[in-house]
Structure 1
Amino acid sequence: MSFPAPEIARGFTGEACPARFNLARYCLARAAAETPAKTALIVISDAEAPIDAAEHWTYGELDEAVRRIAAGLFAEGFRPGERLMIRMPNTSDYALLFFGAIAAGLVPLPSSSMLTEAEADFLLTDSHAAAVAVSGELAVHAGKARVIDDVMLKRLKAHPPLGDYADTEANDPAFLVYTSGTSGRPKGVLHAQRSAWGRRPMYQGWYGIGPADVVLHAGAFNWTYTLGVGLQDPWANGATTVLYIGPKDVHVWPRLLERTRATLFAAVPTLYRQILKYCDLASHDLSALRHGLTAGEALSPALLRHWREETGKNLYEALGMSECSTYISTGPSMEIRAGSPGKPQPGRCIAVLPVDGDTEPLPTGETGMLAVHRSDPGLMLGYWQRPGDESEVYRGEWFIGGDLASFDEDGYLWYHGRADDVMNAMGYRVSPAEVEAALSDHPGIAEVAVTEMHVRDDVTVIAAFVVPKGGKQPDKASILAHAEERLAAYKRPREIVFVESLPRTANGKIMRRTLAAK
């Protein structure tokens, strides 16, 4: 049944971002001034060691360290607007460099430590980064870019601090992240300083966060989910964030929740599912945990029900994208409807538009393209050096992210998948074309198509459908090894399926959804 389209205020209705705005100052300066001795960051490398033995940073120390790095970058000759790629493990140095670069008006590019050397080289080249910060074990061909190694980083951290954060405008570039596109070539998403202000609707619309909270996030810093939920938002609210950098054994998370007295836990549904499967939650004291946060992939009703039964706690889901972070969510002040990621956060202007290109929102109950109004302060500045890609995602006053959805009569959104072939792997968007390109030069492969395949009702994996060369099936292990050399772990296929031919349309386009249904 359809109802008239809901009344939509054509534009973001939240508080306007100040014209002069620096993301790093917004996240750190207030708490550093008001509660300088309060713990802002706890870095744990050994889940069994006493918490007192972990690395602790107060707001005062964090603020000063970030301004030291900003001043050090200037002293080394870097200038505002230059890109600084970060290719390091998840450590406090990663966070300090990210915020220090923004404090200086530079544009950090956080990258994943899981990327292969070739993948990292592409980001460095495409971004025209002036420098790359690397740890010893993560190689990269720097080319003309300067290398910030451990020696230079130590020098940056020892520099007298900058007197104040860069006096940037709200629309000045703040950071650059890369995401997969349908073309198979990763593209840079350039975010403005105002992106942190654009996260304000999440504070109560998703988290219910306050200064007393302790936030444990299970993700990595190359992901906007972690940069935002794990660092920016806790610090902007004067809360404490916990970073775990030890071995990622699933059993560690209940122990950390108990020992840190975390009040909020953020992860992808896959990790919650693994915790329920392998951990004895009844043996851990989770009384401090108020609720869990989940994003990156759909939260199934079965997983939500199982988590509630085992912990007595809720999971609040959010839906978003690299170009705008999250904008639809459930939260403590609203009812959860299992299977729905929730409602638009307060102040957001969200609509469902016709697939065919019209700009008028569809009636309630009809499925179309999920759209965010371009006035949203969390929306990206644009795609890095890809104006052609931008023309494909803007439709009048709306940004179209590629998701199909509908609203019900109570304002809850129901997700109906992607309109394109982009896959979701452990919360990361992955282009099938990128994976296909990496596999296609295997000597035993004539043709290959990649898509998501269900292995259980609520679990999908990346699968490669291979047409063998010369009719002789290659060894599956050799294909997986080939992928390992060329692709980050989360992009690699988990299943190899041999087929005689690939289904195609009359125009020759591979019908990936047909393959997935086999």
Structure 2
Amino acid sequence: MTETVNQAAPHPFNLARFCLTGAGAAADKPALLVAEGPKGRIIERWSYGELREAVLRVAGGFAGYGLPRGSRVLLRVGNTSQFPLMFFGAIAAGLAPIPTSTMLTAHEVEMILDDSGAGLVVGDGSGVMPAPRAGVGVIDAAGMDRLGAASAVDFADTGADDLAFLVFTSGTSGRPKGVAHAQRVGLGRIPMRAGWHDLKGDDLLFHAGAFNWTYTLGVGLMDPWAVGATSIVHLGDRPPGAWPDLLEETGATQFAAVPGLYRRILKYADITPGRFPALRHGLTAGEALKAALHGEWVAATGRPLYEALGMSEISTYVSSGPAVPTRPGSPGKPQAGRRVVVLPPEGEAPDAQRPMPAGDTGVLAVHRSDPGLMLGYWGLPDETAAAMRGEWFLTGDLARFDADGYLWYEGRADDQMNAFGYRVAPEEVERALAAHPDVAEVAVAEAQSGDVSLVTAFVVLQAGAEADAAALEAYAAEHLAEYKRPRSYVFIEELPRTGSGKVMRRALRG
């Protein structure tokens, strides 16, 4: 292990300083390229010197509001170069930004504002804003320009365990739940360099996601800048067929996206091993990568595709990469330096903190000492405590390790289905059905049929394939125990997904 996840954080430690100065990139080196149009024409170029200066000017503008250290700043900013300036500018000022999707409704925005107690709302007009309220300042697009014209200040002398930012995820109660991250989250990302993306200073990383998503914030901004590499973003529509041209025109050496986008690129784009020659490899996270899709991408492009498993509470911590050979169907191994185990399901073992042996399925857990682990759920001490079992943070994922140390994901604990008294992970059923040559995508969930709940497979067919439930039933009979087999097959045009590309099984349950 060349870099340790548990290295002591210096004091002071500011995440913005860590990302923008830690690699010692030359002031004139490109830090951010902004492209637009189907051919990826570069319309903005930000050097490291320009980016650092702009961030510290925004920090100076925020400092003028006189907010206490750690005050929250709600960001309603679109996917433009203004987003990273506002996000890192707030952190540089010692404030805690809250990135949000511009697609949120007014009701959702109001709930986040209520829950976070944000003292400032910054919006560029690309998404709805909360109603005016006493004690909450509002910065519009013109105000953002004034922030960027302020006098620069130095990075705030925050501590490693001070609040850096909040992200809100879907809560089990139907209300958004804030995940509070510390400044030290930058240290928690170091193991990804050797264990997943292998980012180097001369890389150009193109991320397909929006900035408000933690996958993009981390892999698309924090990681490239922490090693002095270049981040690429794109404005406007990006149809699947345009991605080969975008990757070629921008010279991207790494591409990050969700599995669903890789599938659509293969379906709609002209792909050969000679396309986008600068690309070293692709990265994928956000949902499980099916083995068949992995094989199709490698065969079509001649380039590897590396998967990672993570979550908003800790980002990615299990992955494959240049130093961790891929094993299709598995996201890989725990990154070097991380303490990751599978614990017994609650109540099923006398020692609930004793790791289970290889081959046994249990609850995936990460040790609380990991610097990438959240501080907790904002304002929810009981939920934070419930997520811990002694020294271990329970991810809510079910998984098992094989004899070689590879992790096999078995789904979310709350996605578990009950079939004839057996607990069944939808991912296990999906993995089997996805290998059928007629299946492009599949999601499995318990769906209501009259008064009964049936394990149902929702299937997206390959182009030209016929909807043949009997054929899929026969295939399932060859690959799955009887109690794991779907009792119903529904053929649909596409799977419902969140704005970040994750399959919404709850929408399928009906």
Give the TM-score, by structure 2 length: 0.81
Quick one: structure 1 residues 166 and 466, their matched pair in 2 at CA, closer, same or farther if it must change by over 3 Å? farther
Contact preservation (8 Å) 1:201, 1:346 = yes
Q: 2:32 aligns with which of 16, 22, 41?
A: 41
Which residue in the other structure is 1:130 paired with? 119
Provide, for residues 174-210 of structure 1, a one-character-per-residue CA deviation record: whole Å limited to 9, x for no partner: 0000112322221000000000110000011101110
Q: 2:391 aligned with 1:397, yes or no? A: yes
CA drift at 1:87: 1.1
CA drift at 1:251: 2.1
Tell me the number of residue pairs that the alignment of Structure 1 and Structure 2 aligns.
437
CA drift at 1:409: 1.0
Which residue in the other structure is 2:143 paired with? 152
Aligned to 1:282, the other structure's residue is in SS state: coil
Q: 2:206 aligned with 1:223, yes or no? A: no
Which residue in the other structure is 2:171 paired with? 181
Which residue in the other structure is 1:291 paired with? 281
CA drift at 1:100: 0.2
Which residue in the other structure is 1:80 paired with? 69
Distance of 2:169 and 2:15 partners within structure 1:
21
Q: 1:191 aligns with which of 157, 181, 185?
A: 181
Which residue in the other structure is 2:60 paired with? 71
Quick one: structure 1 residues 204 and 490, their matched pair in 2 at CA, closer, same or farther if it must change by over 3 Å? closer
User: Which range moved further: 355-364 or 394-403?
Assistant: 355-364
User: Which range moved further: 248-257 or 340-349?
Assistant: 248-257
Q: 2:235 aligned with 1:245, yes or no? A: yes
Aligned to 2:38, the other structure's residue is in SS state: coil
Contact preservation (8 Å) 1:461, 1:495 = no
Distance of 2:120 and 2:446 partners within structure 1:
36
Q: 2:106 aligns with which of 86, 108, 117?
A: 117
CA drift at 1:460: 2.8
Contact preservation (8 Å) 1:258, 1:284 = no
CA drift at 1:279: 0.3
CA drift at 1:492: 10
Q: 1:25 aligns with which of 6, 17, 29?
A: 17
Provide, for residues 66-101 of structure 1, a one-character-per-residue CA deviation record: whole Å limited to 9, x for no partner: 000000111133332110011121111011000000
Contact preservation (8 Å) 2:275, 2:301 = no
CA drift at 1:245: 1.5
Aligned to 2:55, the other structure's residue is in SS state: helix
Provide, for residues 291-339 of structure 1, a one-character-per-residue CA deviation record: whole Å limited to 9, x for no partner: 0000010111100110011000110000011100000000101221111
Distance of 1:420 and 1:227 partners within structure 2:
27
Q: 1:385 aligns with which of 379, 383, 391?
A: 379
Q: 1:141 aligns with which of 130, 139, 161?
A: 130
Task: Output aligned runs, 1:91-490, within 5 Å.
Answer: 91-142=80-131, 143-144=133-134, 145-162=136-153, 164-282=154-272, 285-357=275-347, 358-421=352-415, 456=439, 458-460=441-443
Distance of 2:232 and 2:502 partners within structure 1:
27
CA drift at 1:462: 8.8
CA drift at 1:466: 9.1
Which residue in the other structure is 2:487 paired with? none
Q: Residue type matched to 1:151 in 2?
A: A
Contact preservation (8 Å) 2:257, 2:285 = yes
Distance of 2:503 and 2:144 partners within structure 1:
33
Moved over 6 A (4+): 461-464, 487-497
CA drift at 1:14: 3.9
Contact preservation (8 Å) 2:324, 2:333 = no
Distance of 1:375 and 1:126 partners within structure 2:
27
Distance of 2:126 and 2:280 partners within structure 1:
38
Q: 2:44 aligned with 1:61, yes or no? A: no
Quick one: structure 1 residues 464 and 43, their matched pair in 2 at CA, closer, same or farther if it must change by over 3 Å? farther
Contact preservation (8 Å) 1:133, 1:149 = yes
Provide, for residues 124-144 of structure 1, a one-character-per-residue CA deviation record: whole Å limited to 9, x for no partner: 111111111112242222423
Distance of 2:359 and 2:506 partners within structure 1:
36
Identity %: 54
Q: Residue type matched to 1:381 in 2?
A: L
Distance of 2:40 and 2:382 partners within structure 1:
52
Distance of 1:281 and 1:359 partners within structure 2:
48
Q: Residue type matched to 1:147 in 2?
A: V
Which residue in the other structure is 2:465 paired with? none
Q: Residue type matched to 2:33 in 1?
A: I
Distance of 1:466 and 1:120 partners within structure 2:
35
Aligned to 1:165, the other structure's residue is in SS state: coil
Distance of 1:218 and 1:257 partners within structure 2:
11
User: Which range moved further: 56-65 or 456-465?
Assistant: 456-465
Aligned to 2:190, the other structure's residue is in SS state: helix
Cα RMSD after superposing both structures: 2.6
Quick one: structure 1 residues 248 and 402, their matched pair in 2 at CA, closer, same or farther if it must change by over 3 Å? same
Quick one: structure 1 residues 283 and 399, their matched pair in 2 at CA, closer, same or farther if it must change by over 3 Å? closer
Q: Residue type matched to 2:78 in 1?
A: P
Distance of 1:186 and 1:320 partners within structure 2:
19
Which residue in the other structure is 1:505 paired with? none
Contact preservation (8 Å) 2:38, 2:238 = no
Provide, for residues 392-443 of structure 1, a one-character-per-residue CA deviation record: whole Å limited to 9, x for no partner: 11000000010001111111111111111399xxxxxxxxxxxxxxxxxxxx
Quick one: structure 1 residues 312 and 108, their matched pair in 2 at CA, closer, same or farther if it must change by over 3 Å? same
Q: Which is bigger in relative contact order (C-alpha 8 A, separation at least 6)?
A: 1
Distance of 1:257 and 1:495 partners within structure 2:
34
Distance of 2:186 and 2:505 partners within structure 1:
36
